[in-house]
Amino acid sequence: MFVTYNVNRAILILMPTHKLTPEIITAAVEGFEQQKLRIDAQIAELRQMLTGTPTGTAASSEVPKGKRRMSAAARKRIGDAQRKRWAESKKASSPVAPAAAKPKRKLSAAGKKAISEATKKRWAAFHAAKKAGTPIVARKRAAKKTVAKKAPE
């Protein structure tokens, strides 16, 4: 029994699937494998014509390789070698010790007193200028001029 369909003005004929026996399926598989081998050979010839050297397509399509596994002895050798490299690098870097930290600087009583007096003097000047009613910009300029004059002394 054949079923036909009209698909975009082309007739599609479907093979009956209920009469496929194992012998027919086996023969079809063998035929397709032969076609595949023939096509692979033609592809290899074409690639050889392109590069001038034989390609490895035939060898790669024969048997796929499984997952490569490493023996325990090989893993041990690799691990020992890596540990040896790390030991050497740590040994080389160990003499470079951090320099002794400088002691923390402390402010003397005289220094604290000088800072305190200077701060009080600045605030007194600020409040005096504010009381006099001069604008802030003029106060800042005046403060800079007084500092500049005092510096050369």
DSSP state letter for 10 = E
H-helix or E-strand spanning residue 11? strand 10-14
Q: 5 — phi, psi (to 5°)?
A: -130, 145
Distance CA(115)–CA(97), nearest Å, equals 38
Distance CA(147)–CA(118), nearest Å, equals 12
Distance CA(5)–CA(103), nearest Å, equals 95
pLDDT digit string, tens, across residues 46-105:
988 888 776 555 455 556 678 889 999 999 999 999 999 999 988 877 655 667 788 888
Distance CA(31)–CA(70), nearest Å, equals 40
- pTM greater than 0.85 (yes/no): no
